[in-house]
Amino acid sequence: MIKEKRFEHIISSLKNTGTVSYSQMSEDLLVSEDTIRRDIDYLHENGLLSKVRGGAIPRDKNPLSFQDRTDFQSTEKEIIGLKVQPLLKAGMTVFMDGGTTVCAVAECLPANASLRVVTNNIALVPLLTRFRNIEVIVLGGNYDRDTQTNTGARTCDEAAEFVVDLYLMGTCAISKDFGITSAKREDGAVKKAMLKGSKTVVVLSNSRKIGTNESFVVCGLQAINVLVTELPSDDPKLDELRFKNLKII
């Protein structure tokens, strides 16, 4: 079984039972206890659980996030958040825009993360300020209560002042025919502004958004470098998005 599926099973079991053991996970997943121990070590280091003798228990979540805690803590978003971690290198400047999946990336960051984050996502700020070595730059603009983001001309103008190493883009919809689309014109405009100054574009999308589209076009698939979903990278549902220069993880 690939490691992402093991991670998903461990996290799901932890939510259902409140504790997991090396022996039980080894039996469930048909792998060695050493493999489970390494998996739990990795999940612990990335903040998804707390390692204890013989297994793991849930990690306390930061209470400052979106009001919809159930959706925010869904396993699929935690898997996406975990998959993103190897892409984030110390010293990077990173755009992070709106959405709970982007917040899940912050929840998975290791304690020693060292980044400069430029964001319009107000819900992201309290999650990032826990980290001593993360500089947070908040873009101004008009506050949208529904998305908990700043949008508008000021947001776009301020985003245009930056050149960043990585752009972590939350998505409303992604499809072969229309690429990335947004449900709100203002959100789409901010994404376009961030795209212009980004060396590498990483799109975060759960599988339910694949093959769907919204009203406002952001960019085609050729404009993005990496797609991260909760699915295994070889899942057939991703076949329609396999573009020659697009890496899927």
Per-residue pLDDT of the chain (249 residues; tens, 9 = 90+): 788 889 989 988 988 888 999 999 999 999 999 999 999 988 887 767 888 888 998 875 443 333 433 343 457 888 899 899 999 999 999 999 999 999 999 999 988 999 999 999 999 999 999 999 999 999 999 999 988 999 999 999 999 999 999 999 999 999 999 999 999 999 999 999 999 999 999 999 999 899 999 999 999 999 999 999 998 888 999 999 988 789 999
Give the number of other CB atoms < 10 A from CB of residue 137. 13
**Are 197 and 162 a contacting pair, CB within 8 Å?**
yes
pLDDT at 5: 85
pLDDT at 111: 87
Give the number of other CB atoms < 10 A from CB of residue 16. 8
pLDDT at 185: 95
Query: What residues are paired with 56 via a beta bridge?
Result: 20, 51
pTM greater than 0.85: no
Domains and CATH numbers, the chain: 3-57 (1.10.10), 69-248 (3.40.50.1360)
**Are 96 and 105 a contacting pair, CB within 8 Å?**
yes
Give the number of other CB atoms < 10 A from CB of residue 181. 22
pLDDT at 62: 41
pLDDT at 60: 55
pLDDT at 89: 95
